Amino acid sequence: MENSWCNKKVLITGSAGLIGSESAKFFGALGFEIHGIDNDMRRYFFGKEASTQWSLRNLKEQLKDKYRHYDIDIRNNKKLTEIFRRNKFDLIIHTAAQPSHDWAAKEPITDFTINALGTLYLLENFRKYCPGAVFIFTSTNKVYGDSPNKLPLIELKTRFELPKNHKYYKGINETMSIDNSKHSLFGASKVAADVMVQEYGKYFGLKTAIFRGGCLTGPSHSGAKLHGFLAFLIKCIVRGEKYTIFGYKGKQVRDNIHSYDLVNAFYHFYKKPREGEAYNMGGSRHSNTSILEAIEKIEQILNKKAKIEYSDENRSGDHLWYISDVSKFKSHYPDWDFTYNNEMIIKEICKSGHF
């Protein structure tokens, strides 16, 4: 990548997290001045093991004076406003969130204020201080609630699957309704933020994009029991620790997209932005796996047997099958494509050594 974007500034929330850190490295390599907000709330959500401090240290070491860090909470609008007043940002990438639908039920107000109110604060500062910038928001497939579970799924030996003639066989697109489903409280708070980001695009005519992610993953993921399926599964197998499969016999299907491929999609949108667009973005048919299939693949790569425990009770609102249809994004940005498939992702995490 050429340093063709010198003197440009990007603000990244959740900058030490999986997508935030990938964004910082990606845009830093292009010559952007990186401003990162992260207060390691992941440690509060999931414990010491999930702390992103290691990632922040790596960022500072790699980007050096290209990176400026703010250890603040996005719910602190006064401090956010100070940052926006001092800087004219060209791009805002908002990845900070409470990311677990299980955890949200423990502290609904914490979840909603981070995911919804924090997003609104960012949007309003964006509108007031740098309306010519591009605002990118990482949403979630949980905005569709449990509607995917109403699809006519077929149970196969290692996974659930759709009939090949079904309209969503290629993947779920943006036409699926977000209404009349169980979202989880996390899903509801992300819906609120998702719709608000759309509205700031469509109502105020600002350049905003919403990426409704499938399983976002990669070697920079601080995997935890309640969030980060692949990274946590690999961590358990490497350490010889027990991994619990919650319901669906381990045949639930997820599409996995590498953090680099998602951030590269952000870059394509930044170069040619639109107003209030929502995109389903995951591994699609190109990169997906059931839990059982992932375990088998990881065991092969590591040459180590997993310690698996089954629970008959599935997580409330959990998807039996979710594969993203990325056709809308590819129709808008035909030069974008995947660089990683599922096997490549698993191999890279296994070799990363971050366990």
Residue 264 located in a structural domain: yes
> Quick one: how far is CA 161 from the chain centroid?
23
Rounded to the nearest 10 degrees, the angle between the axes of helix 229-239 and helix 291-302 is 40
Tokens of 348: 């890279």
Tokens of 59: 């960022």
Could you tell me if 19 and 25 are in contact, meaning their C-beta atoms sit under 8 angstroms apart? no
Could you tell me if 197 and 137 are in contact, meaning their C-beta atoms sit under 8 angstroms apart? yes
Amino acid 353: pLDDT: 66
Cβ-proximal residues to 195 (8 Å cutoff; 6+ apart), any chain: none
Tokens of 349: 């995490």
Residue 183 located in a structural domain: yes
Residue 4 located in a structural domain: no
Cβ-proximal residues to 171 (8 Å cutoff; 6+ apart), any chain: 255, 280, 282, 284, 285, 323, 324, 325, 326, 327
Amino acid 314: pLDDT: 84
Amino acid 240: pLDDT: 93
Residue 255 located in a structural domain: yes
Q: What is the pLDDT tens value at each position of the chain, 355 positions in all?
A: 456 667 899 999 999 999 999 999 999 999 999 999 999 999 999 899 889 999 999 999 999 999 999 999 999 999 999 999 999 999 999 999 999 888 999 999 999 999 999 999 999 999 999 999 999 999 999 999 999 999 999 999 999 999 999 999 999 999 999 999 999 999 999 999 999 999 999 999 999 999 999 899 988 776 666 566 788 899 899 999 999 999 999 999 999 999 999 999 999 999 999 999 999 999 999 999 999 999 999 999 999 999 999 998 888 778 999 999 999 999 999 999 999 999 999 999 988 866 5
Residue 34 located in a structural domain: yes
Amino acid 225: pLDDT: 67
Residue 133 located in a structural domain: yes
Cβ-proximal residues to 76 (8 Å cutoff; 6+ apart), any chain: none
Beta partners for residue 311, in sequence order: 246
Could you tell me if 132 and 246 are in contact, meaning their C-beta atoms sit under 8 angstroms apart? no
Q: From CA 216, how far away is CA 193, in angstroms rounded?
A: 18
Give how many domains the chain has, as a whole number. 1
Question: HSE (CB half, 13 Å, CA atoms) of 189?
Answer: 26
Tokens of 225: 């029991």
Amino acid 227: pLDDT: 65
Amino acid 56: pLDDT: 96
Q: From CA 143, how far away is CA 213, in angstroms rounded?
A: 10
Domain that holds residue 108: 9-350
Tell me, what CATH number does 56's domain have?
3.40.50.720
Residue 1 located in a structural domain: no
Could you tell me if 285 and 327 are in contact, meaning their C-beta atoms sit under 8 angstroms apart? no
Amino acid 121: pLDDT: 98
Residue 355 located in a structural domain: no
Could you tell me if 98 and 13 are in contact, meaning their C-beta atoms sit under 8 angstroms apart? no
**Type of residue at 81:** T
Report the 3 state secondary structure along the chain.
Answer: CCCCCCCCEEEEECCCCHHHHHHHHHHHHCCCEEEEECCCHHHHHHCHHHCCHHHHHHHHHHHHHHEEEECCCCCCHHHHHHHHHHCCCCEEEECCCCCCHHHHCCCHHHHHHHHHHHHHHHHHHHHHHCCCCEEEEEEEHHHHCCHHHHCCCEECCCCEECCCCCCCCCCECCCCCCCCCCCHHHHHHHHHHHHHHHHHHHCCCCEEEEEEECEEECCCCCCECCECHHHHHHHHHHHCCEEEEECHHHCCEEEEEEHHHHHHHHHHHHHCCCCCEEEEECCHHHCEEEHHHHHHHHHHHHCCCCEEEEECCCCCCCCCEECECCHHHHHHCCCCCCCCCHHHHHHHHHHHCCC
